[in-house]
Structure 1
Amino acid sequence: MTYCSQWWLLSLAIFLLALTVQANENVVKTDVFLSPKFELGPGQVADKFYYNIDFPRGHIAIKEFNGEVVDELGNSVPLHETYLHHWIVKRYYAPKGEKVHEGNGDQELHFSKNFAVRNAGTCQGRVLGQEFGIGSETRKTKVYVPDPYGIEAGNSMVIPKGFEERWLLNIHAIDTRGVVDRMGCTECRCDLYNITRDKAGWPLRPGYTGGLACCYDQVQCRMQEGFDNIKRSLYLRYTVKWVDWENSIVPVNIYIFDVTDTGERPAGSTRNGCQVEYDVASCVGNCMENNGCVDTKKARIAMSDDGGEIIYGVAHQHSGGLGATLYGEDGRVLCSSLPIYGEGTEPGNEAGYVVGMSSCYPQPGTVKMSEKETLTLESNYNSTQKHTGVMGLFYILVADSPPRRMPSLLTFIHDQVALVFMGVTVAVVVAVGYLRRNRRESGYQSILMQQ
């Protein structure tokens, strides 16, 4: 075999190797974005809605979405200064070229030409329609979608003609610097905010003592006397990880369950029994009769569509939470999630706050929901003191049993290139051995071997 033949084979092998790597490459991409700026003074509440936020474009599979509050210098802000009650991200379709809406309410999304894309959960109307979002636990909650699964976005085949896919961000943050009762302010106690009417001007319902209805944009929690009213500018810094969509990715549906879901829509309400929040009464002096001062709330939730495989799950709870569990109809545990409490003062480890929730990642194919199965969600809170406006939500990702897919053209090419590359590699090895043997037989010695 001539030198030219050897180098031709070697060049071909390198070229085919490059093709193989390229055909098999679908690397995870990462981008970090900042929300529009919002300002907060001590004791103030921000409940902001931002339309058409920055987001990766194209047909993609979202692998992770997380966020945190930062200041103008990009420093993480601790929860004991600015409490992140929640942040949520919704997908919606808008006419191409329509003006971007921004404001303190989401009425524009529902009463204009825009329309929302909901998750697959059972809460109806405008309640819990988001696809992403948690709260104070955002920094230490694992939310990565495992391979080969992904949350599909940007599919032009499902976006209505003349529309484009956009994303809406809602940030609900409470500045607790200098307040008289930090926990009471984060739990939105109405007396601390001096609120008797909701943001629409309607009187609060009888017995309502705390929650979102008393914690809307620009309301003020009670302050200590003499505390300096210094405002600061803040942002939600959110990180998105994704890969380009390909046929080997298995799409998942997002379900959000609410422990307050009664399964019945109240008369004149757009809510399907999902109240989102509830109160935990104190059991002080009555612990033995109240499960050792543990408040347990349960909801039975009937699935209305096909089942599937659960590949991820996590709960959302507030301070005082002890964890939540999702059970199947036969009582089997589908997923449990426990809170992680901070022990210090630095961001992500603030004492007394839920700084993370444990996630469950079942082995593929081991945890399934049957069609129209009735699930039970259980949420537990410590009730040694009263808590207002707490939440017991559960997020799961569900994949249909993966269908047998016809291999795509890219997959076919990749497989064929891999086979050719293996063959060429063997040929090159044989050729090199043959050439070295010929050189030795002809008396050739490498210059490196000369003394």
Structure 2
Amino acid sequence: MSLIGSQGVVFLLVIALLATCGQNSKARPTFENGLKSMVYLSSKITLHPGSVSNKYYYDIEFPKGHIAVKSFNAEVVDEAGNPVSLQQTYLHHWIASRYYERVGSEDRNYNANPGFDQSDIIMDRNAGICDHVLDQFFGLGAETRKTSTHIPDPYGIEVGNPLEVPSGYEEKWMLNIHTIDTRGVVDALGCTECRCDLYNVTNDKYGQPLDPNYGGGLSCCYDGTQCKVKNGIESVERHLYLKYTVKWVDWSDSIVPVKIFMLDVTDTWQNTGIHDCLVEYDVEQSTTGISANDHTSTRISSVKFPISGDVVYAVGHQHRGGLGSALYRKDGREICLSKPIYGIGNEVGNEAGYVVGMSTCYPKPGSMKIVEGETLTMEFNYSSEKSHTGVMGHFYILVFESSMDSNYLVSW
């Protein structure tokens, strides 16, 4: 039996304390600049070189009561509580969704697939626009560490309102965490882009054959799949966690509620009239880029916005290779320009070549209004110097719903 050094004992105590905070709803929040704050840990994520974990964790720890969420941040940490590099474990995405569960139903702390259709669960989706996908309240990807999620005063995301809970149900929260272990793989970029040839996958997670033209994406890097590793790599298992921090204030009449909208550049609405969002797409390598000195692939899509209101916050979501995203009003005015922040070093949070953050937009209150039925245009740019599979182009925006002739004023 090996002995654990004093440093190892300290590490074990740290992770035990974090686990207690993350699994014990009686833990007390801290207070910071008028905000309540709590740090939680997800359930354990087990990985080995090249492996993929993409699981749904039900009934996660979340602040109780009628509150206004002011920020939700997350990162992957190891058993000692240390942040984990994207060069070792790629955080493809994490999302947090609210649902209502029938009182007295069977506990479900983990499931490989979401239970959206289970009779005991009612998913509480965000305000749209995509039908049946991208319905999360919070979520980011590899860019999570350097992307601001703070919601300015007097706004907040309202949760825990007992009047909104269906009779016989209780409000709960779920995490979906998608991680890819890239230690010892033959092609880290290919693994993070879920190239099917590297995963040796020909069927999707439901066992259905993939389209022969499908080169990569979520259908090839589902839970339990394995990306190709170099010969001789030892399969060393490791246990990780998603450490997430929620900040909030108790609900009051002084808080202005905002609605969450997810926009997707693959939305088919412009051609079909239906918001069938495909979530991901591929970027082909440019055949004319060298002669034209331009390796930019641009995808543009338009959607009709369902409400009138003021934009409070906006941020784009792009993968590696992204060059920037923009959201425009019908008259061409820019609502938000969100650009990726690339790492330039080897330290955690600054990993060279990886998207480690996205710039965010905070319009001055009342300055950026959208009219119900107005057509908004999204533009997402990716580098086409090389081909990319499974890239994404999403906009997450918060809108305070109001009449365009309203005299309601909001100040900082």
**Do the two structures share a fold, i.e. TM-score over 0.5?**
yes
1:280 to 259, 278, 283: 283
SS class of match (2:198): helix
1:164 to 161, 170, 176: 170
Map 1:144-223 → 2, pairs under 5 A: 144-223=150-229
Instruction: Report what 1:449 is aligned to.
Output: none
Map 1:225-240 → 2, pairs under 5 A: 225-240=231-246
Map 1:3-402 → 2, pairs under 5 A: 27-125=34-132, 127-263=133-269, 272-288=275-291, 292-303=294-305, 305-401=306-402
Instruction: Report what 2:10 is aligned to.
Output: none
Deviation per residue, 1:318-339 (Å, 9 max, x gap): 0000110001111110111000
Tell me by how many angstroms 1:286 deviates: 3.6
CA distance in 1, matches of 2:226, 2:272: 31
Give structure 2 stretches of 5+ with no counterpart: 1-31
Give the partner amino acid of 1:331: G
Distance change in 2, residues 1:109/1:226 (3 Å): same
CA contact (8 A) 2:302 2:375 kept: yes
CA contact (8 A) 1:250 1:399 kept: yes
Give the partner amino acid of 2:61: D
SS class of match (2:162): coil
CA contact (8 A) 2:289 2:385 kept: no
SS class of match (2:212): coil
Deviation per residue, 1:298-317 (Å, 9 max, x gap): 111112x2210001000010
Give the partner amino acid of 1:372: G
Greater fraction helix = 1
SS class of match (1:355): strand
CA distance in 1, matches of 2:317, 2:225: 24
Give the partner amino acid of 1:301: V
Tell me by how many angstroms 1:205 deviates: 1.6
Greater fraction strand = 2
Deviation per residue, 1:375-430 (Å, 9 max, x gap): 1011000110000000000000000239789xxxxxxxxxxxxxxxxxxxxxxxxx
Deviation per residue, 1:220-246 (Å, 9 max, x gap): 111101111101000000000000000
CA distance in 1, matches of 2:33, 2:66: 13
Distance change in 2, residues 1:272/1:153 (3 Å): same
CA contact (8 A) 1:264 1:273 kept: no
CA distance in 1, matches of 2:129, 2:117: 19
Give the partner amino acid of 2:395: F
Normalising by the residue count of structure 2, what TM-score does the alignment of the two structures yield?
0.88
Tell me by how many angstroms 1:288 deviates: 4.8
CA distance in 1, matches of 2:114, 2:56: 10
Normalising by the residue count of structure 1, what TM-score does the alignment of the two structures yield?
0.80
Give the partner amino acid of 2:339: L
CA distance in 1, matches of 2:396, 2:333: 18
CA distance in 1, matches of 2:363, 2:266: 26
